[in-house]
């Protein structure tokens, strides 16, 4: 949000002597689109110059009584409170009159402060010294306010270029008695103190930041007038009443809720009034939202959850029938066809067995017998001469070992004497018949 070389006060890119022509370095920047037009009558040219302070957080108008012509980005020495101040020229020429007319400032006001001269090196040195003091003064002032238990927040401190006056900007919800605080500030900083109360939105504009849209805050870039914003603007635009989403960094409702409000109000004029409830034979239908882009009104039946889009003509017809104590049988909703291409859901694909691990494949190949081209395994293939010779040698050695081993004598196994009988159940010899 600014040039990286602006600390040198002479940017190398835009060559605007300390002020970025793109507006990134200054808040509330205005582009001078009449800058290159030739001057027809120099006497009728606007003699008032717009000067910005503290990188555009505050702008004022000063009368140019000198014979110099100032351009945007020039530093000028101005009339201050009991001294002088230094500011940066932000706008010159005919556009200054438009800005003064917009803010209601009289061009020929005799009380308007004047430009003294173009800033010299001594003025700029004093100006930079005063700006370096501001962070330390702001931190110390917050400590003093905390010691006095004052319900206020010091958001910014601006010291005059000559170091004789300081303006303290603060926010507070209730009235604050800071008389004792001013005495402490004057004794601590040796300055003339001015306390200026600002609103929460003005504080957000001075601090700056990035909004939820991803861009820099409107109040810190171009927005100057803060109009009142209420939740009615969100209801007209069919936005959910969520305080977290509708609030900005200042804690108030976002200013951008008013940007498109007029467009919605113009479009809603064609929609019928008092159409919140429609009576049918199946029950009452309640209005949910209005779609100004498709000219549809969405309803939901009592006790149901389905939404029914109806055209404006159909809603007027049902209201006319209800006025005559006639209840239609059906709402007759329309089919809403989306212009977006229909997404095809991916179908289920069985990939089991298609994905394998290389480590498992190697193990399986090791365990499997080697396969030959002719389709036979190692066990089935014929042996070559070397393998036959090795096998015969192994068998011969095994036989020799068996011969050398001592043989054990086998003992006869005695069988028990069991009597034998003949087929005709006669007794054996040695027994006498009865």
pLDDT, tens only, 204-223: 888 888 988 898 888 888 88
Domain made up of 271-323: CATH architecture: Roll (2.30)
Q: What is the mean pLDDT of residues 340-367?
A: 65
Q: What is the mean pLDDT of residues 8-17?
A: 48
d(CA 378, CA 373): 11
d(CA 369, CA 379): 8
Q: What is the largest CA-CA distance in the chain?
A: 176
Predicted local distance difference test score (pLDDT) of residue 422: 45
Sheet with 75-79, edge to edge strand ranges? 58-63, 48-53, 84-91, 75-79, 115-118
pTM of the model: 0.61
17-43 burial code (b ≥16 CB/10 A, e <16): ebbbbebebbbbbbebeeeeeeeeeee
d(CA 173, CA 152): 8
Predicted local distance difference test score (pLDDT) of residue 1: 43
90-114, pLDDT tens digit by residue?
888 888 888 888 888 888 888 899 9
d(CA 154, CA 142): 6
Q: Which segment, 221-225, 238-242, 372-376, 383-387, is predicted with the most confidence on average?
A: 238-242
For residues 420 and 292, the model is more confident at: 292
90, 33 in Cβ contact below 8 A? no
Do domains 127-204 and 271-323 share one topology? The answer is no
Quick one: what percent of the chain has pLDDT higher than 90? 29
- Reported confidence tier of residue 12, pLDDT bands at 50, 70, 90: very low
Q: What is the mean pLDDT of residues 251-264?
A: 91
- Reported confidence tier of residue 55, pLDDT bands at 50, 70, 90: confident
Sheet with 307-311, edge to edge strand ranges? 277-280, 283-291, 296-301, 307-311
What phi and psi, each to the nearest 5 degrees, are found at residue 187?
-75, -30
CATH number of the structural domain 127-204: 3.30.70
What phi and psi, each to the nearest 5 degrees, are found at residue 280?
-130, 170
For residues 387 and 77, the model is more confident at: 77
Quick one: what percent of the chain has pLDDT higher than 70? 70
Handedness of CA 96, 4, 215, 156 (dihedral sign): negative
By C-alpha distance, which of 273, 168, 205 is closest to 55?
205
Q: What residues contact 283, with CB distance under 8 A and at least 6 apart?
A: 301, 302, 303
Instruction: Show me where the domains of the chain are located.
Output: 6-119, 127-204, 227-267, 271-323
d(CA 299, CA 276): 9
By C-alpha distance, which of 302, 327, 308 is closest to 317?
327
């Amino acid at each position: 949000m600014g040039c990286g070389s602006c600390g040198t006060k002479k940017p190398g890119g835009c060559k605007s002597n300390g002020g970025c022509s793109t507006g990134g370095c200054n808040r509330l920047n205005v582009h001078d689109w009449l800058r290159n037009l030739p001057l027809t009558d120099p006497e009728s040219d606007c003699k008032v110059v717009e000067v910005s302070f503290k990188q555009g957080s505050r702008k004022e108008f000063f009368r140019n009584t000198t014979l110099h012509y100032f351009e945007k980005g020039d530093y000028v020495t101005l009339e201050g409170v009991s001294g002088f101040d230094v500011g940066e020229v932000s706008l010159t020429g005919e556009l200054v009159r438009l800005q003064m007319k917009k803010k209601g400032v009289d061009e020929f006001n005799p009380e308007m402060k004047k430009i003294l001269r173009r800033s010299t090196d001594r003025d700029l040195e004093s100006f930079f010294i005063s700006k370096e003091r501001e962070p330390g003064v702001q931190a110390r002032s917050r400590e003093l306010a905390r010691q006095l238990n004052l319900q206020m927040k010091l958001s910014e401190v601006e010291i005059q270029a000559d170091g004789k006056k300081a303006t303290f900007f603060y926010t507070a919800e209730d009235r604050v008695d800071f008389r004792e605080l001013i005495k402490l500030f004057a004794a601590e900083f040796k300055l003339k103190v001015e306390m200026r109360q600002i609103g929460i939105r003005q504080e957000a504009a001075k601090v700056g930041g990035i909004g939820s849209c991803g861009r820099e805050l409107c109040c810190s870039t171009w927005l100057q007038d803060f109009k009142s914003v209420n939740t009615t603007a969100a209801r007209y635009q069919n936005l959910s009443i969520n305080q977290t989403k509708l609030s900005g960094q200042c804690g108030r409702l976002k200013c951008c809720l008013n940007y498109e409000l007029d467009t919605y109000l113009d479009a809603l004029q064609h929609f019928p009034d008092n159409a919140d409830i429609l009576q049918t034979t199946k029950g009452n239908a309640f209005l949910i939202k209005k779609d100004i882009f498709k000219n549809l009104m969405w309803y939901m039946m009592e006790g149901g959850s389905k939404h029914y889009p109806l055209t404006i003509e159909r809603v007027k017809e049902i209201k006319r029938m209800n006025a005559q104590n006639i209840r239609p049988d059906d709402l007759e909703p329309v089919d809403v066809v989306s212009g977006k291409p229909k997404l095809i859901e991916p179908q289920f694909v069985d990939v089991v067995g298609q994905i394998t691990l290389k480590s498992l494949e190697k193990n399986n190949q090791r365990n499997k017998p080697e396969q030959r081209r002719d389709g036979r395994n190692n066990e089935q293939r014929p042996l070559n001469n070397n393998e036959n010779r090795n096998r015969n040698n192994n068998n011969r050695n095994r036989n020799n070992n068996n011969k050398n081993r001592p043989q054990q004598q086998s003992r006869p196994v005695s069988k028990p004497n069991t009597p034998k009988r003949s087929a005709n159940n006669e007794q054996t010899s040695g027994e006498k018949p009865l």
